Structure 1
Amino acid sequence: MATVPHCVYCFECLSSSLEKRKPLSLAQVEELWDQYEAFSHGEDDAADAQLQAEAAAGAAVDASDTTPYKPAAISRLLNSPLSGSSSSSPAPSASSSTPSLNTTASKSSSRSSLFSLPKSLSRGTKRTSDEEEFPLFVTWNTVSSRGRVSLRGCIGTFEPHELDDGLRSYALTAALEDTRFNPISTRELPTLECGVTLLTDFEPISDPMDWDIGTHGLRISFIVSNRRYGSTYLPDVAREQGWTREETMISLMRKAGWNGRSSEWRSVRDLKVIRYQGFKASLWYGEWKEFREWVVESGRDEELDE
């Protein structure tokens, strides 16, 4: 399944590209993230112990003292860079993923047809290895100061990729080559949220309504005037938009280029539908920035270069 380190790696690839520096590898990011998590939890445990000790000491203060007791550690916790928040970017709300297919980001993706099933898929919810291959999508959103989330780029592939190569390729392609948007600039980094979706369990279905909102993504193909059209929605789209199954199908066909009557969507020629599942992880810039600063300040990036 997609993990937070996958999103961290996408931020690493994009920022290093914009800053003209060498990015960490996915394996390095995953190793460092484990260390960072252990460090953060250790700091939290120490702070909790201090709070308990100071609270116990405060309980012994004379009851006649009307001055409100406030443990000194509270302000340190609220101002700590490890508190899980950052003033540079608000915590995001749920985001919409309206993906585009890209067939030029890598050689292998150009070989897949619009409607063919991936040749091989890995399943399971355990942590993935760099050697496992997945179809995948990378989504970039912008988050306003009020928490409003807007799509900024989303591109992926149904051709399985090793994660290091696939995430690097599509993190950059979604950020810089989604033709619906201008390329993401360095100044936009603090506003970004990254989402990674690894796709699994592809199943052709004979009934276009045989899928569950919030669980399945859809990939459709149909023919109009001897031309084949196709499009896809990731599993979170229908739920976030509040659509019914039929509304989702109609929207998906409109996205593909169909302009017929909504009541006639079932009558298109050779309608094929594949449902699939996607395991998504998300991360916003503030969280990535705290991790990256910890890597630099602790000297761990220099250790990896040795």
Structure 2
Amino acid sequence: MATIEHCLYCFEALSASLEKRTPMTLYQVQTSWAAYPKGLDEEDEEEQPELESSDSSPPSDNESGKPSSSLPVPRNPTLERLSGPSSGTSTPASSSSSSLTPSTNNTTPSSSSASFVPIGLHPRRSSQRSSNITESPLFVTWNTVSSNQKSLRGCIGTFEPQPLNSGLSSYALTSALQDHRFSPIRLSELPSLEVSVTLLTDFETARDAMDWELGVHGVRISFYARNKRYGACYLPDVAPEQGWDKEETIVSLMRKAGWGGRREKWSEVGDLKVVRFQGAAESVGWEEYRAWREWVEKGEEKAK
């Protein structure tokens, strides 16, 4: 599964490229994030009442290194808004999608925009997922976040397994700078961005166009029409975010691929093949990336 570290690494690759500096490696990002003081997260908050109600429990150190107190801790509204890892499946009404690109045989999604509930600033969090994956098919999605809107800014991925240390940085830059539907992302845009990483797993050939589960599977289709083969795909979170049923999802995919037939005729195209797959996304916004990066820079300065 994708992790916070994977997202930070994508931000690092793009930021370093635009700033003309050498980026950190994935290993350096992972090692740094493990040492980064993250403060309280949801799990700590849930355990807090037990600590507060126990008069006999001795003070213990929390993750930030500060002794905990037996006195009641004021509630932090920011903590109460925290909804866990920001991902394509847990952020309300976020949107991402993808389709095959003729020039590279990779996949890119169509442009989309949807309202969502921003979680705002939140405590620095520990990674909610551990991952020993070193190679995987993947997608990197960039979104512009402003007010109550999240808009697609670029997304390119591949179904071929990629070493994560090179694949994530490569597709982070490709999706940010070479998605033909958008102008290249500029340095001044970084503070408005969010990055989402999806590692794809469990590819299976479906029996038919309906042999997949909403909210679980992403779908990749290919078919013939007018002596031409078409293809497109959606990541697992797209259909639920758009409120589509299975048929609406397939028809939308066919439209994205370039099919212009009548909707009721969708099942009559030739050699319709469907591959289903899974993949949980993880997302990180600029503020979280920048806070971590400033901590790294301070450490580098002290080491000099």
Please report the TM-score for the alignment, with normalisation by the length of structure 2.
0.75
User: 2:190, 2:286 within 8 Å by CA — same for their partners in 1?
Assistant: yes
**Which structure shows the higher helix fraction?**
1
User: 1:4, 1:281 within 8 Å by CA — same for their partners in 2?
Assistant: yes
Match of 2:4 in 1: 4
- Identical residues among aligned pairs (%): 52
Residues 41-62 of structure 1, C-alpha deviations (whole Å, 9 max, x = no match): 7666556725x44x59xxxxxx
Secondary structure at the counterpart of residue 231 of structure 2? strand
Q: Distance in 1 between matches of 2:15 and 2:249?
A: 35
Residue 182 (structure 1) aligned with residue 201 (structure 2) = no
Residue 128 (structure 1) aligned with residue 132 (structure 2) = yes
User: 1:99, 1:139 within 8 Å by CA — same for their partners in 2?
Assistant: no
One-letter code aligned to 1:190: P
What are the within-5 Å matches in structure 2 for residues 234-273 of structure 1? 234-273=235-274
Match of 1:98 in 2: 97
**Counterpart pick for 1:142 among 141, 144, 156:** 144
Residues 110-151 of structure 1, C-alpha deviations (whole Å, 9 max, x = no match): 8x9xxxxxxxxxxxx75134xx3211000000110x231111
One-letter code aligned to 1:128: N
User: 2:37, 2:63 within 8 Å by CA — same for their partners in 1?
Assistant: no
Deviation at 1:226, TM superposition (A): 1.5
User: 2:221, 2:233 within 8 Å by CA — same for their partners in 1?
Assistant: yes
Match of 1:60 in 2: none
Deviation at 1:12, TM superposition (A): 0.1
Secondary structure at the counterpart of residue 264 of structure 2? helix
Change in 2 beyond 3 A, CA 1:230/1:196: same
Q: Distance in 1 between matches of 2:241 and 2:185?
A: 24
Match of 2:290 in 1: 289
Change in 2 beyond 3 A, CA 1:163/1:8: same
User: 1:103, 1:157 within 8 Å by CA — same for their partners in 2?
Assistant: no
Q: Distance in 2 between matches of 1:93 and 1:286?
A: 19
Q: Which runs of 5 or more structure 1 residues have no equivalent in the other structure? A: 57-70, 85-91, 113-124
Secondary structure at the counterpart of residue 284 of structure 2? strand
Residues 186-244 of structure 1, C-alpha deviations (whole Å, 9 max, x = no match): 11101111000000100011221111111100000001121111000000000100001
Residues 156-186 of structure 1, C-alpha deviations (whole Å, 9 max, x = no match): 0011100011101100000001111111111
Change in 2 beyond 3 A, CA 1:128/1:248: same
Q: CA RMSD in A?
A: 2.9
User: 2:217, 2:235 within 8 Å by CA — same for their partners in 1?
Assistant: yes
User: 1:98, 1:233 within 8 Å by CA — same for their partners in 2?
Assistant: yes
Secondary structure at the counterpart of residue 280 of structure 2? strand
Q: Distance in 1 between matches of 2:102 and 2:12?
A: 23
One-letter code aligned to 2:262: R
Q: Distance in 1 between matches of 2:24 and 2:103?
A: 24
Q: Distance in 2 between matches of 1:204 and 1:195?
A: 26
User: 2:137, 2:162 within 8 Å by CA — same for their partners in 1?
Assistant: yes
User: 1:101, 1:157 within 8 Å by CA — same for their partners in 2?
Assistant: no
User: 2:39, 2:64 within 8 Å by CA — same for their partners in 1?
Assistant: no
Secondary structure at the counterpart of residue 299 of structure 1? helix
User: 2:218, 2:235 within 8 Å by CA — same for their partners in 1?
Assistant: yes
Residue 49 (structure 1) aligned with residue 51 (structure 2) = no
Q: Distance in 1 between matches of 2:293 and 2:92?
A: 23
Q: Distance in 1 between matches of 2:299 and 2:102?
A: 40
What are the within-5 Å matches in structure 2 for residues 182-201 of structure 1? 182-201=183-202
Q: Distance in 1 between matches of 2:264 and 2:276?
A: 22
Match of 1:26 in 2: 26
Q: Which runs of 5 or more structure 2 residues have no equivalent in the other structure? A: 42-60, 83-90, 108-128
Deviation at 1:103, TM superposition (A): 7.4
One-letter code aligned to 1:10: C
Secondary structure at the counterpart of residue 235 of structure 1? coil
Q: Distance in 2 between matches of 1:288 and 1:6?
A: 11
Q: Distance in 1 between matches of 2:142 and 2:263?
A: 30
Q: Distance in 2 between matches of 1:4 and 1:203?
A: 27
User: 2:153, 2:182 within 8 Å by CA — same for their partners in 1?
Assistant: yes
Q: Distance in 1 between matches of 2:287 and 2:93?
A: 16
Residues 285-304 of structure 1, C-alpha deviations (whole Å, 9 max, x = no match): 1110110011111228x86x
Q: Distance in 2 between matches of 1:149 and 1:238?
A: 16
Deviation at 1:279, TM superposition (A): 1.9
Q: Distance in 2 between matches of 1:93 and 1:149?
A: 11
User: 2:216, 2:236 within 8 Å by CA — same for their partners in 1?
Assistant: yes
Which of these two proteins has the greater Rg computed from alpha carbons? 1
One-letter code aligned to 2:175: A
Q: Distance in 2 between matches of 1:40 and 1:23?
A: 28
One-letter code aligned to 1:235: P
